[in-house]
Amino acid sequence: MTRPSIKNNFKRVWRNLSKRRKVYFILLLGLMTVASFMEAISISAVLPFIAVLSNPEKVFIHEAAQLFIKISGIKTPEELLFPFTIVFGLLIFIGISLRLVLLWAQTRIGFGTSAAFSSSIYMRTLYQPYSVHVSRNSSEVISGITNKAAAILTYLITPLMNLISSSVTIMAIIITLFTINPFVALTAFLGFGVLYAGIILLVKKQLSANSIVLSQESIQMVKALQEGLGGIRDVLIDGTQGAYGKIFNKAQARYNESLANNQIVGQSPRLIVEFLGIMFICIIAYQLVLKGDGFMSAIPTLAALALGAQRLLPALQNFYYNWTSIRAGQESVEDGLQFLEQPYPEHANKPNPAPIIFTESIQLDKVSFQYTNEGAIVLKELNLTLEKGKRYGFVGTTGCGKSTLLDVIMGLLKPTNGYLKIDNQIITEENHRSWQVIIAHVPQAIYLSDTSLAENIAFGIEVDKIDMKRVKEAAKKAQIAETIETLPQKYNTFVGERGIRLSGGQRQRIGIARALYKKAQVIVFDEATSALDNETELAVMEGIENLADDLTILIVAHRVTTLKRCDKIFRMDKGEVVEEGVYEEMVG
């Protein structure tokens, strides 16, 4: 398997940034450079400041100080202390202030970018074809939207910004130390640089392995949570809490172990390098004193070197730690980028088009369908004509192709071969949205959000744009209005998560009301009553039968008796229509 390329991933992230955010990052890079060189200036300022403290007479007669002495009107060496202290303190204050501004900017830009990526992934996922959704595990999608989008920030954007900042800081400090003592600066840089380079080579494979574990186990944790909580009724009845807990614990243990390994690999070199840094300064101090100029003469140089090392070592450690973060997270970043680069269809973010003209019939012309090239043929050269304003039933055993046929009719799945036509007009990628705006779908399990009844009937419409008159008309036609009117808060009543406060029959009627609010011309009932008891099913079917005569209604059911009032019933088997006729003929 090809390892994700850090360079390639960065290019892909850059391509997906908006122009405004690209400008932010360029400005941030400039701020990093200024802050890093300000750090170097504060280090170089140590030398004259310590010199004034330890030997003001020497500084007073130094040629470089004469212009400052003349401008400031200083008369004695002792008078140098106050202005030098003020200047040194001011430089330190400016340096720290720039660091604080840099921290604020990095954090805001980083998290803002992560939020933008999460939103983009979610929107792109919603716009993917139905065939893509049915081929994915929902836990993978949820992990992609939540964890993987955050991984782009955690494992690429933030560490990369820190990496650049550390690189500029290291360069600025080395230049400063080089002006103080070229040999010492070169020795320190090469020594510590070689040490970190060696560690990087040693841990490279371990970080790549951890990267794969983090990517895989984050999906497994979401999957365990989703399946355990999603089927909580069965879990409680069957007592399978332990099994789901074991799956989650195993995934979490491996995930956290990899995180811990990354922390250890990233942080441990700091302690070794700090010890070597202290020993290095001690050796330099010993050499300077041996030169014969005395300890006092060595103090300014030692102070500058000590401050430089105090800045250089964290910068080197920060560079290394952020490199390990980038390396350890590339699998998760790759996953996030795959979701981020999902293509938008042409109709994305556009208002619904004008509805297609539908006055005569829906036609299936030699329609075949298979989900994959290697998969079984689900529909086999179907030829059907469904007239406008009629009721049609589809019956057959599980897996016979009923639901797939309706998905093709609704424009969710594109025929592998053949054509879907509306009044002899072929439905294509370009016009399928015009067809879908006049279709409504009522499935077996009606999805209800934990909002008001009005919001669930006008599903997907912003609250302030809901037409309450239309909501009430739809509820009345769906025979749910009387029930709603008896509730204390009527249409403002919250239904609970997934409509838990409603009965099965009430949920189905809300689904019908939702279809009527949409003013659909075609309503598809996909086993909408199969989970209901006989009495409730009979009541719901009666409501369906009383819908307007100009509606075209397609009903999938397991039992022929459910389709008693249909104008025509099609019996399907292995992707083909094996029998068709009216109810009396089908049961005769």
- For residue 106, give the CATH number of its domain: 1.20.1560.10
Please tell me the chain's helix, strand, coil percentages from 3-state DSSP, rounded to the nearest 5: 65, 10, 25
pLDDT at 532: 60
In the chain, the N- to C-terminal Cα span, in Å, equals 60
**pLDDT tens digits, one per residue of 450-484:** 788 888 888 877 888 888 888 888 888 888 888 88
pLDDT at 420: 92
At 300, the pLDDT band (50, 70, 90 cuts) reads low
pLDDT at 89: 81
pLDDT at 83: 75
3-state secondary structure 386-450: EECCCEEEEECCCCCCHHHHHHHHCCCCCCCEEEEEECCEECCCCCHHHHHCCEEEEECCCCCCC
Kindly state whether residues 99 and 14 are assigned to the same domain.
Answer: yes
Q: How many domains does the chain have?
A: 2
Q: Give the gyration radius of the chain's Cα atoms.
A: 36
Tokens of 156: 């690429």
pLDDT at 278: 65
CA distance 474 to 511: 10
In a domain, 355, yes or no: no
In a domain, 347, yes or no: no
Nearest to 337 by CA among 12, 120, 113, 21: 12
pLDDT at 4: 61
Tokens of 399: 């897996």
**pLDDT tens digits, one per residue of 279-299:** 766 666 666 666 655 555 555
| Residue at a domain's end among 340, 369, 400 | 340
Kindly state whether residues 332 and 409 are assigned to the same domain.
Answer: no
**pLDDT tens digits, one per residue of 390-431:** 888 888 887 788 888 988 998 888 888 999 999 989 988 888
φ, ψ of residue 266 in degrees (nearest 5): -75, -35
**pLDDT tens digits, one per residue of 494-526:** 776 555 667 777 887 888 888 888 888 888 888
At 277, the pLDDT band (50, 70, 90 cuts) reads low
In the 8-state DSSP scheme, what is residue 561?
Answer: G
Q: Which of 215-219, 251-255, 540-544 has the highest mean pLDDT?
A: 251-255
| Residue at a domain's end among 306, 340, 374 | 340
Name the percent of the chain lying above pLDDT 90.
2
Kindly state whether residues 517 and 422 are assigned to the same domain.
Answer: yes
**pLDDT tens digits, one per residue of 24-54:** 888 988 888 888 778 777 766 666 666 666 6
pLDDT at 220: 76
pLDDT mean across residues, the chain: 77
Kindly state whether residues 147 and 260 are assigned to the same domain.
Answer: yes
Q: pLDDT at residue 2 above 60?
A: no
467: domain CATH number is: 3.40.50.300
Kindly state whether residues 33 and 181 are assigned to the same domain.
Answer: yes
Kindly state whether residues 178 and 92 are assigned to the same domain.
Answer: yes
Kindly state whether residues 370 and 225 are assigned to the same domain.
Answer: no
Helix (H) or strand (E) holding 7, with range, is helix 6-15
| Residue at a domain's end among 340, 370, 387 | 340
Kindly state whether residues 275 and 375 are assigned to the same domain.
Answer: no
In a domain, 240, yes or no: yes
Domain containing 547 equals 361-587
Residue whose token pair is 């003001």: 56
pLDDT at 531: 54
In the 8-state DSSP scheme, what is residue 152?
Answer: H
CA 439 to chain centre: 31
In a domain, 574, yes or no: yes
Helix (H) or strand (E) holding 523, with range, is strand 522-526
Query: Between 494 and 136, whose confidence is greater?
Result: 494
Cβ neighbours of residue 318 under 8 Å, at least 6 residues apart?
162, 165, 166
In a domain, 551, yes or no: yes
In a domain, 204, yes or no: yes
CA distance 217 to 140: 11
Helix (H) or strand (E) holding 367, with range, is strand 361-369
Cβ neighbours of residue 310 under 8 Å, at least 6 residues apart?
none
Kindly state whether residues 125 and 200 are assigned to the same domain.
Answer: yes
Q: Which of 228-237, 327-336, 384-393, 527-536 has the highest mean pLDDT?
A: 384-393
Residue whose token pair is 């850059």: 14
What is the number of alpha carbons within 13 Å of residue 85 lying toward its C-beta?
7
CB 207 within 8 A of CB 6: no
Kindly state whether residues 226 and 164 are assigned to the same domain.
Answer: yes
**pLDDT tens digits, one per residue of 72-90:** 777 777 777 777 778 778 8
What is the number of alpha carbons within 13 Å of residue 412 lying toward its C-beta?
17
pLDDT at 137: 67
In a domain, 349, yes or no: no
Kindly state whether residues 322 and 459 are assigned to the same domain.
Answer: no
Kindly state whether residues 388 and 457 are assigned to the same domain.
Answer: yes
In a domain, 352, yes or no: no
